[in-house]
Structure 1
């Protein structure tokens, strides 16, 4: 189903709502992290429609979220240029996700330099084979298209890199696509695991480098790289580029590595 259908019941008033066909977006016991983050973001921008462009987000995945939610949001502070909004998802009387969004108007720049380009460009999505078309989690098979963007397969350097796009982008703006896609790949630490075991995102923090991102045919290059893993946790760097090789999102995540 289209993500826009899942978001349709979210109103400016917030409060309780039932998300249709949420099972299509479930990852085990909980809504997939990118979907739940987008639900919280949508609750914020529908409640406060005059916000400036999104610049950053901090999301904590506290507990499993389902299709029956209570949406809460508030403006924490509104300054001359920056507005900070908190939004939360509650399920069955407990907070399951809390997010802090930073919106900011553009100002006359006093420092300008581009993000670093990716050293080993993998070629465009049309040059790479499709992966997980008939296997992997159902929410990925049903809602995303992934293509290989690295030669490495199996154990090795703790990096996972894929071209990714939402299968049905109807009603989604590019910023919403990035929030939905930012958490779609498994942690890079997966390649360093000594034995099979489940993985789980605990939080996600990102800076949006372009408030009006664009790409070709909905494709974004996604890269998750473990910076350090030990004690059952991995510190991950998550980045997204458009098809022109311009980085549009820079993020960090703590992931739980079980098993």
Structure 2
């Protein structure tokens, strides 16, 4: 158990324990307690998407995941949340599945659409290549105390380019090396968690703490090469594409520990500062 600033005592829960605690039925996945997987008063956004995917997988267990599109609606008003999933359309190769995450009062917390597609023969094969870090490399570790969101304790991030939130730095391209201590054998749920870790780059431009919140998030899986990879020394290349009127637009490229291109994401966020 740990005590978070301004919050009640919550349970430290390793990622694999969190996944094992999900109660699964066909088209339905329930998490009774997110433990310390929180960011402020809301559940970690990556976990919200993971729960919705978990419900989808009870209906479509084997088809490769190609993309997830999430809209974050509001924080849950209860510890327990349930994801309900249904198949929208099953085509010859591609299946669309919809999921809604609800709290105990049936408030919609998040909406997720998953697109699953069987592999097909194609003459087109293009893979991104990871670039080097260049001169002036650095290693800035993320703090583990001082009011940081509790979910961050499950990651070990090091900034190789860019810097930490609320430092007044105006760099728009961040590179973060990231691990999940205690976790082994990567699966698609780990990929989602890793891809959603990095804070909004825009808040690094601020000099005083200010809240922020994700509104929409799109995550595209480039392949299934992540299966079974070690969860050490992954790399996130993030870029703040635009910002204005309180809204920011950020892209991410996620690389495996050997430089494997794993996923692309685009996120629209609101920053109150």
TM-score over 0.5 for the pair: yes
Q: Is 1:56 matched up with 2:74?
A: no
Using a 3 Å threshold, how does the CA distance of structure 1 residues 101 and 121 change in structure 2: closer, same or farther? farther
Partner of 2:239: 225
Query: Does residue 157 of the first structure (1) align with residue 171 of the second (2)?
Result: yes
What is the aligned-residue RMSD (CA, Å)? 2.6
Over 3 Å counting, the alpha-carbon distance change for 1:244 and 1:17 in structure 2 is closer
User: Which digits, 9 at most, give the CA deviation of each residue in 1:180-238, with x for residues without a partner?
Assistant: 12111111112333653111111110211122315444332113221000000001102
Conserved 8 A contact 2:180-2:231? no
Which residue pairs with 2:155 in the alignment? 144
Runs of 4 or more consecutive aligned structure 1 residues displaced over 6 Å after TM superposition: none
Gaps of 5+ in 1: none
Q: Which has the higher contact order (CA 8 A, sep 6+)?
A: 1
- The answer to whether the 8 Å contact 1:10/1:43 transfers is no
Q: Does structure 2 retain, via aligned residues, the 8 Å contact 1:160–1:186? A: no
Per the alignment, do residues 137 and 73 of structure 1 end up closer, same or farther by CA in structure 2, a change over 3 Å counting?
A: same
Q: CA, structure 1 residues 114+74, in 2 after alignment: closer, same or farther (shift >3 Å)?
A: same
Equivalent-residue separation in structure 1 for 2:202 and 2:119 (angstroms): 36
What TM-score, normalized by structure 2, do the two folds share? 0.83
- Alignment partners' CA distance in 1, 2:134 and 2:68: 27
Would the aligned equivalents of 1:159 and 1:189 in 2 still touch at CA under 8 Å? no
CA distance in 2, matches of 1:242, 1:235: 24
Unaligned runs of 5+ in 2: 1-12
Aligned partner of 1:28 among 30, 40, 43: 40
Is structure 2 residue 84 aligned with structure 1 residue 72? yes
TM-score by length of structure 1 reads 0.87
CA displacement at 1:152 relative to structure 2: 4.9
Deviation at 1:243, TM superposition (A): 2.0
Q: Find the partner of 2:130 among 117, 135, 158.
A: 117
CA contact (8 A) 2:49 2:112 kept: yes
The CA deviation string for residues 93-131 of structure 1, in whole angstroms up to 9 with x for no partner, is 211111111111111112112214335269x9xx94643
Match of residue 142 from structure 2? 131
How many residues end up aligned between the 2 structures? 253
Q: Is the 8 Å Cα contact of residues 76 and 85 (structure 1) preserved in structure 2?
A: yes
Instruction: Please identify which structure carries the higher helix content.
Output: 1
8 Å contact 1:159–1:191 — kept in the other structure?
no
1:98 to 94, 111, 121: 111
How far does residue 252 in structure 1 lie from its aligned partner after superposition?
A: 0.4
- Asked whether the 8 Å contact 2:96–2:115 carries over to 1, the reply is yes
